[in-house]
């Protein structure tokens, strides 16, 4: 009897140990020298545990590149700052921003996707949503967060920058209201939208300050510590494709004495969302190009 009990305990201990080892390697692991599977990172892009108070982001890697839904947190490691989709390490699809109180404050979709359609529908393991755009401005939509941590942030809304929101209590995902009501919602939105003169001035100022004038003396950037693809070397005089520390393309074109002469510079926000592409000719800013 004692032998049977000892064998049972040994079997249970072995099973527990195997499960513990399996769980420990299922997160923050490498495959062929590249990050793979689910990862939890701090602000220094270093691996941490799932419940670490310094956790800044979490999501999946495939071949060392971000893929699927990623969540970025505020300093407390719990309140979402941004939730969005990535493909091959680039934002691709829809993404949502939150304030420090955890309230949904803006939604958007990758510009390249909006070039093909004014309606974007997404369903993944974190949220299900449908967003409607007019001239790439969000005018209506709804999002249901299926993840229990964010269910309270599920909304139906219509607006551009300021959300007119109402908490959704429906357990079923039903987009019919948006399809049936879109035209009237947008008409009502145009009717009540009365931006202040101050807002118009600020918006205009942003556009003026945000980019140099075409054919001005705004010089193309010089390169310090260039990062190129594996197996290649930076050519101070020649064609180069440079990358940021996070693996995103930064500059692409012909360089002269270490300075971009003819090519493009890709600008991202702090969450890695591509904002614009600047075109340079003969070492000077020429125009903003398409994304």
Q: Which pLDDT belongs to residue 214?
A: 52
Average pLDDT score over residue span 86-111: 85
Percent share of the chain, pLDDT over 90: 27
Point out which residues pair with 85 in neighbouring strands.
Answer: 69
Average pLDDT score over residue span 82-88: 91
> Cα angle at 253 between 259 and 224, to 5 degrees?
35
pLDDT digits (tens, 9 = 90+) for 137-192: 777 788 888 887 887 777 766 554 444 444 444 444 455 666 666 666 666 666 65
pLDDT at residue 193 above 90? no
More confident residue, 161 or 82: 82
Q: Which pLDDT belongs to residue 152?
A: 77
pLDDT at residue 220 above 60? yes
Q: Which pLDDT belongs to residue 67?
A: 94
Whole-model pTM: value is 0.61
Q: Which pLDDT belongs to residue 20?
A: 41
Tokens matching residue 281: 């000719």
pLDDT digits (tens, 9 = 90+) for 23-45: 444 799 999 999 999 999 998 88
Dihedral sign for Cα atoms in the order 212, 214, 216, 220: positive
Nearest to 288 by CA among 151, 114, 111: 111
Please write down the HEC assignment for all residues of the chain.
CHHHHHHHHHHHHHHHHHHHHHHHHCECEEECCEEEEEEEECCCCCECCCCCCCCCEEEEEECCEEEEEEEEECCCCCCEEEEEEEECCEEEEEEEEECCCCCEEEEEECHHHHCCCCEEEEECCCEEEEEEEECCEEEEEEEEECCHHHHHHCEEECCCCCCCEEECCCCCCCCHHHHHHHHHHHHHHHHHCCCCHHHHHHHHHHHHHHCCCCCCCCECCECCCCCCCCCCCCCCCEEEEEECCCCCEEEEEEEECCEEEEEEEEEECCCCCEEEEEEEECCEEEEEECC
Based on its alpha-carbon atoms, the radius of gyration of the chain, rounded to whole angstroms, reads 24
More confident residue, 256 or 118: 256
CB atoms under 10 Å from CB of 78, counted, come to 12
More confident residue, 117 or 161: 117
């Amino acid at each position: 009897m004692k032998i049977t009990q000892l064998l049972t305990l040994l079997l249970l201990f072995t099973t527990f140990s195997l499960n513990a080892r399996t769980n420990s390697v299922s997160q923050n692991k490498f495959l062929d020298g590249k990050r793979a599977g689910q990862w939890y990172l701090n602000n220094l892009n270093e691996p941490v545990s799932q419940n670490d108070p310094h956790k800044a982001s979490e999501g999946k890697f495939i071949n060392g590149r971000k893929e699927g839904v990623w969540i970025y947190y505020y300093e407390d490691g719990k309140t979402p700052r941004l939730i969005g989709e990535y493909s091959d390490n680039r934002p691709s699809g829809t993404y949502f921003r939150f304030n420090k109180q955890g309230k949904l404050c803006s939604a958007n979709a990758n510009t390249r996707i909006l070039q093909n359609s004014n309606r974007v529908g997404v369903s993944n393991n974190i949220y299900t949503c449908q967003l409607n755009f007019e001239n790439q401005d969000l005018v209506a939509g709804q999002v249901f967060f299926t993840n229990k941590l964010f269910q309270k942030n599920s909304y139906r809304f219509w607006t551009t920058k300021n959300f007119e929101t109402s908490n959704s209590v429906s357990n079923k995902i039903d987009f019919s209201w948006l399809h049936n009501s879109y035209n009237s919602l947008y008409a009502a939105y145009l009717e009540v939208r009365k931006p202040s003169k101050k807002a118009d001035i600020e918006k205009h100022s942003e556009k003026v300050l945000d980019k140099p004038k075409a054919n001005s003396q705004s010089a193309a950037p010089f390169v310090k510590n260039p990062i190129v693809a594996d197996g290649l070397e930076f050519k101070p005089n020649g064609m180069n494709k440079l990358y940021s520390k996070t693996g995103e393309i930064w500059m692409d074109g012909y360089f002269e004495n270490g300075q971009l002469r003819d090519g493009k510079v890709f600008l991202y926000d702090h969450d890695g969302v591509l904002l614009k592409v600047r075109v340079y000719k003969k070492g000077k800013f020429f125009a903003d190009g398409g994304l």
